[in-house]
Amino acid sequence: MVIPTAESVRTILLPLTQQRDDLIRQLQGIEGKIEAVLQGKLPSATTGSAPAKKRFPLKRRMIEILKREGDQGTTVKNAAAELNIPKQRVHVWLATTGRKLGVKKNGLGNYCLN
């Protein structure tokens, strides 16, 4: 039979004691919340996530820009500046959604509606 030394007992017991103390604090917090609910103090229904943002009407605004520019069209840089969004987002929109709506690139690097 091996008898543990005082040092080995300390190295084993210290983390376990700290873990027990943390669990006791968590349990006290949960009991406090239960008591508050029983007293009629309901916690807020929010989950801590950010509120939903209003959707950015990119499709409508891009169509307005393209119609206004007519056959000359507009560049990705100009559209991004007007919409105050990154150029990459405009380019992706033109290459995906815009293509489905009949947006074409003319020889000058401008995009226009057909």
Q: Per residue in 24-74, pLDDT tens?
A: 999 999 998 888 888 887 766 555 666 666 667 899 999 999 999 998 899
Hey, is 19 helix, strand or coil? helix
Cα–Cα dist 58/55, whole Å: 9
Task: State the pLDDT at residue 45.
Answer: 59
Residue 109, C-beta contacts closer than 8 angstroms, at least 6 positions apart: 75
CA distances from 35 to 8, 22, 31, 32, 44 (A): 41, 20, 6, 5, 15
Average pLDDT score over residue span 84-105:
92
Return the domain boundaries, the chain: 7-42, 58-113
Average pLDDT score over residue span 5-12:
84
CATH tag, 58-113: 1.10.10
**What is the CA angle 86-91-93, rounded to 5?**
100
According to DSSP, the residues that pair with 111 across neighbouring strands are 74, 105
Full-prediction pTM beyond 0.85?
no
Cα–Cα dist 76/87, whole Å: 6
Residue 11 has pLDDT above 70, yes or no: yes
